[in-house]
Amino acid sequence: MTRSQGSRVPQGSQTSQSSQEVQDSQNSQDSQNSQGSRDRILARIRAAVAGAPEVPVTRSYRHRVPPPAGGTPGEAVELFAERVADYRAVVHVVESARAAEVISGALARRGARRVVVPGGLPEEWARAVGAHPGGEAVPDDPPLSAAELDALDGVVTGCAAGIAETGTIVLDAGPGQGRRALTLVPDYHLCLVRAGQIVPGVPEAIAALDPLRPLTWISGPSATSDIELDRVEGVHGPRTLEVVILR
């Protein structure tokens, strides 16, 4: 079976001046139409639901996911570590004091030399990024181009929250995390999560996060199952995710 053809055009085809003018008048016409369509859609909705009963929402699901049996924060950390590892990410749980040592060890093992560090990363972590032989911490200041990011070996960040039940890390582009491209283009992401940032479940994370910031929820490395449902880690995002949980 063949899909209708014609989705391919010669590369670099130019819009001529006269057709550009036609487009411009078309665009302003469209914004008027859009206004008309807005009113029409709203009127259709009102007619469609007129007289329909109100629907109350009952939230009898777990608003606060209880910590796993025993309920100590340590167990949330354990669950988080286990669930992140389920996604085939590399996970370390270490004392906070060992952060720098773990960072430089991980980068040396990986052979990651030039590694981008977002603004606001704690001094001690940033210094550790360039500490192994040949290592260099590359600041995103002035902002690196996508091509420059593509030439780097990795990125080291903190995060905004961790979710134990789903093994998810959330970045909100805040200090120590950088803009979204930083954790996307380089092929290796080393992420540090403080135990105090880990919440038990999704509802707690939603409550803690600011929707006005651009958020990236990360659950394991980039993956696809598009070919015969065989899971392959790593397509376009970082193919290796390494997570350091600081107790």
Q: Which of 90, 93, 131, 173 binds another protein (CB under 8 A)?
A: 173
- Under the binding rule (CB under 8 A), the answer on residue 179 touching another protein is yes
Q: Which residues share a beta bridge with 114? A: 136
- Restricting to residues 206-245, name those near another protein by CB under 8 A: 206-207, 211-230, 232, 234-238
Q: Which amino acid is at 169?
A: I
Pick between residue 104 and residue 222 the one whose CB is nearest to another protein: 222
In angstroms, the CA 4 to CA 108 distance is 52
- Under the binding rule (CB under 8 A), the answer on residue 45 touching another protein is yes
In angstroms, the CA 167 to CA 170 distance is 10
In angstroms, the CA 218 to CA 84 distance is 10
Q: Closest approach of Cβ 199 to another protein, in Å?
A: 11
| Cis-peptide, bond into residue 142, ω within 30° of zero | yes
Q: Closest approach of Cβ 81 to another protein, in Å?
A: 14
Pick between residue 47 and residue 123 the one whose CB is nearest to another protein: 47
Which window, 49-57, 74-82, 98-106, 113-121, contacts another protein (CB under 8 A)?
Answer: 49-57
- Restricting to residues 85-114, name those near another protein by CB under 8 A: 86-87
Q: Which residues, at least 6 apart from 201, have a Cβ–Cβ distance to it below 8 Å?
A: 62, 64, 65, 163, 164, 165, 166
- Restricting to residues 110-129, name those near another protein by CB under 8 A: none
Give the 3-state secondary structure of 84-101.
HHHCCCEEEEECHHHHHH
Which window, 73-81, 93-101, 173-181, 190-198, contacts another protein (CB under 8 A)?
Answer: 173-181
Radius of gyration of the CA atoms of the chain, in A: 24
- Under the binding rule (CB under 8 A), the answer on residue 58 touching another protein is yes
Alpha-helical regions (H) of 50-175: 73-86, 99-110, 123-129, 146-150
In angstroms, the CA 132 to CA 128 distance is 8
- Under the binding rule (CB under 8 A), the answer on residue 142 touching another protein is no
186 within 8 A of 238, measured Cβ to Cβ: yes
Q: Which of 76, 79, 83, 121 binds another protein (CB under 8 A)?
A: 83
Q: Closest approach of Cβ 217 to another protein, in Å?
A: 4
Q: Which of 17, 55, 118, 133 binds another protein (CB under 8 A)?
A: 55
Q: Which of 18, 47, 95, 123 binds another protein (CB under 8 A)?
A: 47
Which window, 90-98, 123-131, 152-160, 178-186, contacts another protein (CB under 8 A)?
Answer: 178-186
